[in-house]
Amino acid sequence: MTIRTHNLNSTVRTLVLAGMVGTFFFGAATAKDIYMGGKSPYPTMMSALAAARSLPAGETRRILVHGGAYYDTQVQLTAADSGLTIENVPGETPVFYGGDLVTGWETEGKFQVARILEASAGKGLAPRLLLVNGESRPRARFPATNTLTHETRFSVPWMSTTGGGWQRRPTHEELTTLQYRAGDLGDWLVTTNVEITVFHMWDESCVGVAGHDSARRVLTLAPATGHPPGAFGVQKYVLWNIKEGMTGPGQWYHDRARQRLVYWPRPGEDMRRVAVVAPSRAVLFSIRGTRQQPARGITLRGLTFSATTVPLVAGGFAAAKFDGAVSLSQAEDCVLERLTIKGVAGHGINGDGLRNVRVENCDISDCGAGGVYAGGTKVVIRNNHISKVGRSYPSAVGIFRGGSECLVSHNEVHDCTYSAINFGGRSNIIEGNLIYDCMKVLHDGAAIYMFGAKNSVLRGNLARDFKDHGGYGASAYYLDEQCSDCVVEGNVSLRVSWPSHNHMATNNIIRDNLFVVEGDAKITFPRSTGYIFARNVLYATGKIRFEGTNAVATWTDNLLYSGKGQIECVTQNRYSAVKTVTNAPPNSVVADPEFVNFARGDFRYRPGSPALKLSLRPVDASSAGRLPK
């Protein structure tokens, strides 16, 4: 690892850190960086930071990190580190872990066991993720697949978020009680170890079990869930971290009662040779300023972060109560670039209240919670690859937060349990993103979901290939409560049955989009007003249904094609249908747009196409997703 500092007259100060088995050396040179031998070793990030902080104020400082594994990482950068860059030595890969190697494995039947300290007796948090040779391994789960169904009901009406949530506040007992079905559980359930995920509609609560009354079939949950079990009519749950959930090689659980890890090795794994990391940290690198003294101009580049854990709390909507492997607050003009974050229990990156912060060219995957959570003023989230998020907390989102004058551009986001992008606020641009394989578990979300967005633009995005699994549904582009004066233009929705959903939103424009549906298609506007729907092409092999057409003030030059020859328009009062007609909306043309090659996804128009007669240009989303670096 090397610290290099540059001042305005090209004088260079250099610190060299040579991996885990080497040393750091400090020296001075002019005109260029120089790696020097010497007598001053800097084997850890803490010692390197101390050296960097000792340099004269105002100098630009840089730490270059040699490849290798750096365990039990907890680095805290503050306003005192403003101007610091920490990056990899070119061609080398440093990996920072939020825990230690687990050793001393012993055989116990088909399992391997190793002693670890309880979090309260040791340091940090209990492990809720385990890495084996750099891969996260599945935690013990009961049942092995699908979910169990409980019998608890909560029939209080939900009044919408804007309307204040539940018609009455749930009691503590309602938030901590779950009755299970006869035969699903028994006296074998050890509450010391068990954790439970209670599913809601658009989020979930993963909490502990404080008590078990097997005679009444009642679990007492602690801490309280975010919504009561049974809310929204959802009665699904799953148990974690119990021996009964160990159904195949590669699984593990934390036996808290005996202060040990239990792991079922995969075929060929020799525990004397595998590297097992049990995380105890929720955050590896933090950048923390204050209102009076923001942390400014800090850059993290070319580093890899892995192995974090999270506290046992109900994460709430978007699992937003959790932190990230990289965490920022009161940060300005900072850059996170070419980071790799994988195998973490919380978010990859988490920060809010940021200013002029850029997250670019990062690869974030295998997250228990979300990918990039970064919001504030003029935040840029660009050209990142985000995948496999929400693996423990399915309400998590690929890219989340919001703010003002932010840019979310040319990211590739996929394999998400809920929405891929959720970014509200004012005057934001969401453009050129490629999204697929999302909304795999929860409901009432979208490829791109906006809540309370004002004067924002969604353009040039491509959302494709995911399904509506029921509940409150899944759509491609979703303007939800309080969204106003937004523009959704030039986007493509491909093989998504619900291309556009608009709920309690006003004065928005949907124009120049291409919506291609294999099967029945619907576009909806419940409790919305003042919409403009113009120059869109909607092609469905099944029927087309518009709901809430009275929310649209202006229909202009839309081209509609139904393979079944069925188009329905429904006027609504709140969520109820008032009238259904089988005509197209006003100022619409019903005809085949005559794509060049529908089967191969070539959605240009043939000569003589009705689209060309309407002066509609082909919608080209071929540049959606990551751009060449």
For 192-242, write each residue's pLDDT tens digit. Answer: 999 999 999 999 999 999 999 999 999 999 999 999 999 999 999 999 999
Q: What is the pLDDT of residue 13?
A: 38
Nearest to 63 by CA among 28, 15, 12: 15
431 Rama sector, left if φ>0, alpha if ψ -120 to 50, beta otherwise? beta
Confidence band for 64, pLDDT divided at 50, 70 and 90:
confident
Which residues lie across from 83 on neighbouring strands? none
The lowest-confidence range among 69-73, 84-88, 123-127 is 123-127
* Domain-wise residue ranges, the chain: 1-66, 99-140+246-278, 148-244
| pLDDT at res. 78 | 96
DSSP string, 13-49: EEEEE-TTTS-EEEEEEESS------S----SHHHHH
What's the confidence (pLDDT) of residue 413? 98
pLDDT at 121: 41
Q: Summarize pLDDT for 272-316 with one digit per residue, the tens.
A: 999 999 999 999 999 999 999 999 999 999 999 999 999 999 999
pLDDT tens digits for range 441-482 = 999 999 999 999 999 999 999 999 998 888 889 999 999 999
Which residues are within 8 A (CB) of 509 and not within 5 positions of it... i.e. 6 or more apart?
486, 487, 488, 489, 531, 532, 534
Q: What is the mean pLDDT of residues 50-71?
A: 82
Q: Indicate the pairing of strand 358-360 with strand 131-132.
A: unpaired
The whole-number pLDDT of residue 36 equals 13
Contact between 295 and 158 under an 8 Å Cβ cutoff? The reply is: no
Tokens of 436: 């697929």
pLDDT of 449 reads 98
Arithmetic mean of pLDDT over the chain: 91
Residues 135-174 have pLDDT tens digits of: 999 999 999 999 999 999 999 999 999 899 999 999 999 9
Q: What are phi and psi of 291, to 5 degrees?
A: -60, -40
Question: Is the pLDDT at 533 greater than 50, yes or no?
Answer: yes
The lowest-confidence range among 121-130, 160-169, 515-524, 535-544 is 121-130
The answer on pLDDT for 362 being more than 80 is yes
Q: Is the pTM of this model over 0.85?
A: yes
Question: Residues, the chain, total?
Answer: 629
Q: What percent of the chain has pLDDT over 90?
A: 84
